[in-house]
Every structure is written in structure tokens, then in C-alpha cells.
Structure 1
């Protein structure tokens, strides 16, 4: 009986000493450059680029941040890691960009990724390429239910600083990349129903075109059907 008491006491002491798992970092809240806007550069550089300031608000339990900035025309990616919540980068003027922030904590492998924002770095251009369509549903990589008609509704929104979007080309397939053009929609149509079957991964992308023939591409998106 005495031995059992000491064993029980040891178990209770050990369980009381267990550490709680570390809290995962939360998403950063992006501040500037503002979403779907033309940014205001800090200054021009000697080589003709613009210095652009990035700023965000920290998510809870975040120690450091990885900021990813992509030139949407050339595909050039700038990737920086730091502990502060702002960063100034020289970027090519007259180009559209995307950016997002990944929050990290050294106590856990979990990370949190902010939404992706788009902006224009001003230059001498007199027209703007439309920003890539922003996906509402299904979220990339999601697993979704089909409706009673065995369909899934693709939904998105799009922005052009010139406000001259003409329409969208929708590509959808079980092949990656999707090459099958399934719909040509005008600017008022920002959804498209597609027929699906269960346990299949589908790939899709949207090409946005404006009145001057400028285009942008979401890149390949995917979802799986229950």
C-alpha cells in the first residue's frame, strides 16, 4: 500500500510538471502598401527603382516574420526574414506586385500566413494591368462538398486601377495545369458552377482581361471534392 502511494504521488508530481504546448503564432495584419492600390514610394533610388515601405501589425505569439514580395510581371520574388514589423525594399517602378507575411515562433514549427495583397509600384505607365483575381471559394487546397446537382461554385473578385476589366477566361480540369477553357464571362460574372465527382482533385485558374487586352493570371488553384 505504501509503495502504491509513492508511485501515485510520483505520477501526480510528473503530470503537474508538464509544460503546456507553445502557442502557435497568429496571422499578421497587413497595413501598407494598401490592398489593390498604387503605393506611395519613400523615394527613388539612383538606379531608377522606388523604395517601397512595407508595414504590418504583429499577430499574437509571433517572434519573427518572413515577408514575400513578388513582381507579377517578371515573377521575381524577394524573400526576407526579420523580427521587426516593417521593411523598405527597392522595387522596379511601374510594376504590379503581391506581398504577404508569414509569422513564426521559434518554440513551434507552426506558422501563420497573412492574406495576399496586391499593389502597383508607380512609374511612367499610363495604363495598368488588372490585378490577378482574388479567390473567394473554394479556398486553394480545400476539400469541399458538392451540392445536390453534383456541382461546386467557383467564386472570385477582381480589381483594376483603371476600372476597365472586360471579363474572365475560366480554365478547369482534372489535369495540372488545367488547359480546358470552360467559360468566357463578362465583368459582371464572378462565379461559375462546375460539375464534379467525389474523391477527385480539380485544378482551375482565371485569366482576367481589360479593355486594352492586358491580362493577369491567378496561377493554378486546386481543391478536392468529398
Structure 2
């Protein structure tokens, strides 16, 4: 009888002392605040003729200990990053230049991270008319392998934006050459997709040139994909 009681007591202790094996909650993505999406940032502090210091701000996210701010110069595709436990950070960035920015949420208790939306903005300079943001190529993802449809076509998709709101055309370039040299024609500002004819086992390159009503233009850069 005593032995049974001892075994029962040990079992209770093992259950009560057992650890919680549930994984720590993953961090959530932060909501961006400033610079606002598709805006002209005019509140930076001038550093010199070419640079101004901008304060990036976002909302605190749950289950997060620190953040990594990533700001990409869309003219050069060169990123700047900074890590902080705060919900704001200062960076000196080029004037009169388009940028994208996002924030990664990090938890010391989790291997997972969470990335915010990506917003675009122009850092104000001496310009009174801004070129459109370079089109953001969405699909197919660069470096991917895709399946053509029954018509032997693949749908190209992108996103376009402009501070002045006066995008006039998108011109699609598509070919087997890098960079692509064949213009597939121009599309109106409300059209951000285009179907192209493809052949299996072939790598293709594509880009989009965005032009506004003032004649300012920007190039998306080149994406590539392979067809099954």
C-alpha cells in the first residue's frame, strides 16, 4: 500500500513540475506610420546639399523585443538598415530620391520574425515635379520557374505609384535578352498586367518603364523567370 502511495505521489510531482512545451508566440508585423505611403517626405532635417535626416516611425507590435528598419534607395537598390528597441529611428538619406521602407519585428524568445508592409516615398529635394516610383514587379517572382497557361502565355503583374498622381503610361519590355530589349507596347495608368507568349525550357527577362504626364520616367529594374 505504501509503495502505491509513493508511486502515486511521484506521478503527481512529475506532472506538476513538468515544463510548458508550448512554443513562444511569434512576433507580429508592425504597422508603419511615417513617411506615409506614396508620399513626399518634407519633414527631414537637412544634413548637407545631398542628404537629409528622416525620422521613420511605426507602431509597436506584439511579442516583439526589437526592430530592424530597412530603407532601400530605389535609384540604386542599395539598402540601409538599423536595429532598435524603439518604434522610431533616424537615417540620413539622399534628397530628391525615391525610397522603399519596411520594418522587421524580432523576438528574443522566438526564431520567427515578422515583416511589415513595404511603403514607398520620395525624400524631398529641390524638385517641383517628381518621377514616378519605379514599378514594383510582382509576378512572376524573379528567379522562379512558372507554368504557362493553355494559350502558351504567362501573365506579368506589377504595381505602380506616383507622388504627383499623374502616371501616363507603363511600357513593358520582354525578351530572352538581359536587359530585355523588345517593347511589348505601352499601357494606360490603370493597367498593371500584361500577358506574354512563352516557350517551355526558356528563361525570359522583363521590366517596366513608368512615365508620367510631365515626361518623367523610372525603370523597374529587370526580373527573370523560367518556363516549365
Deviates more, 1:30-39 or 1:46-55: 46-55
Give the match for residue 183 of structure 1: 184
Contact 2:171 2:187 in 1 (8 A): no
Cα displacement (A) at 1:145: 6.0
Cα distance in 1 for partners of 2:33, 2:161 equals 18
Q: Which runs of 5+ in 2 are unaligned?
A: none
Q: Which runs of 5+ in 1 are unaligned?
A: none
Give the match for residue 173 of structure 2: 171
Give the 3 Å change call, closer, same or farther, for CA 61–172 of structure 1 in structure 2: farther
Deviation digits for residues 112-147 of structure 1 (CA, Å, limit 9, x no counterpart) = 222221111112112211101234545667776654
Give the match for residue 90 of structure 1: 92
Larger Rg: 2
Give the TM-score, by structure 1 length.
Answer: 0.75
Cα displacement (A) at 1:35: 0.7
Where does 1:129-148 land on structure 2 (aligned, <5 Å)? Answer: 129-135=131-137, 137-138=139-140, 146-148=148-150
Q: RMSD of the TM alignment (CA)? A: 3.6
Cα distance in 2 for partners of 1:141, 1:62 equals 32
Deviates more, 1:211-220 or 1:120-129: 211-220
Cα distance in 1 for partners of 2:21, 2:36 equals 40
Match of residue 65, structure 2, among 63, 66, 71: 63
SS at match of 1:66: strand
Give the 3 Å change call, closer, same or farther, for CA 204–48 of structure 1 in structure 2: closer
Cα displacement (A) at 1:163: 3.5
Cα displacement (A) at 1:55: 0.8
Cα displacement (A) at 1:23: 2.4
Cα displacement (A) at 1:81: 0.9
Cα distance in 1 for partners of 2:174, 2:70 equals 28
SS at match of 1:25: coil
Deviates more, 1:72-81 or 1:41-50: 41-50
Give the 3 Å change call, closer, same or farther, for CA 136–74 of structure 1 in structure 2: closer
Cα distance in 2 for partners of 1:154, 1:61 equals 37
Deviation digits for residues 76-128 of structure 1 (CA, Å, limit 9, x no counterpart) = 43211111111122223222221111222223332222222111111211221
Cα distance in 2 for partners of 1:105, 1:94 equals 35
Contact 1:38 1:119 in 2 (8 A): yes
